[in-house]
Amino acid sequence: MINLKNYRITVTGGSGFLGSYVIEKLKQRGCNDLFVPSSSNYNLTTENGIHKLLNDARPEIIIHLAAKVGGISANSEHPGDFFYSNLIMGVQLMEQARLFGVTKFVALGTICAYPKFTNSPFKEEDLWNGYPEETNAPYGLAKKMMLVQSQAYRSQYGFNSIFLLPVNLYGPRDNFNPKSSHVIPALIKKCFDALKNGSNEIEVWGTGEATREFLYAEDCAEAIILATEKYDSSEPVNIGSGMEISIKNLVHIISRLSGFKGHIIWDKTKPEGQPRRCLDTSKAFKEFGFKASVPFETGLQNTIQWYKSSQYA
């Protein structure tokens, strides 16, 4: 186990949704030498932007959270952008970090890297047993290449990088923009928009039969910090809560917690993504002692309250 407060740490994406929690956790552990690059000053899809970051921050540890992300709609509309931006950012950053002499590189993958049809719960050894769900395959495969790179670099160069696979995240500070948000913030916004506009119905994509697993962002941040402190292998590790819920049940819970009592209209002509998603999280507990602690409804209540406060303050 390493004491993180003794290291210079750079967190790409540190001002984003998940990153803000990671920064808070690091500060709680006494880390003061933190660097959070802004996308306006450091374009991490270019070699020059990465060189500038490394020369300015001189990191010993990099936690790479920066990514171009979105829900099914955004993935469907911008597959090329999602593939190129995530691939080039991850590959170049890890390579330049290796050349620069970075001590440890923490790469965040995605559950979208798993094959479309994977037995539930997903085990890490299932990662290469098929092609990802089509709507988010470009994003999932781009992120998955950091796993290949991590293992290759450890084998050839002895470079210490790790690869974590977080499930769908949610929580306060999430992205509620309907053009790019994921399912939980999108549903919360739909419910409150309907209440505000006096509408008696909301529309949801798909049939509601698909299942998902969700992890509170603060829990995910804790997992990332524990892995940074304690895990030193390039074998991938799932980060999740171990729960599985259908989109239909999720909609009913969010409607109830939001106070929306109208009708749910299911648009079955729209895609609903991977049929099932649920992770086997036993490896994370075994390797670095992580287990999710925030109950799902508690997390949803916190998220809804934050949204209400931010919109109607």
Active site residues: 139
- CA neighbor of 210 nearest in space, from 120, 110, 128, 301: 120
* DSSP-H helix ranges across 101-182: 137-157
Distance CA 163, CA 13 (A): 16
The tokens describing 13, both together, are: 């994406």
The tokens describing 139, both together, are: 């994003």
Contacts by 37-46, CB closer than 8 A, 24 or more apart = 37/10, 37/12, 39/66, 44/12, 44/89, 44/92, 44/93, 45/84, 45/85, 45/88, 45/89, 45/92, 46/92
Sequence letter at residue 164: L
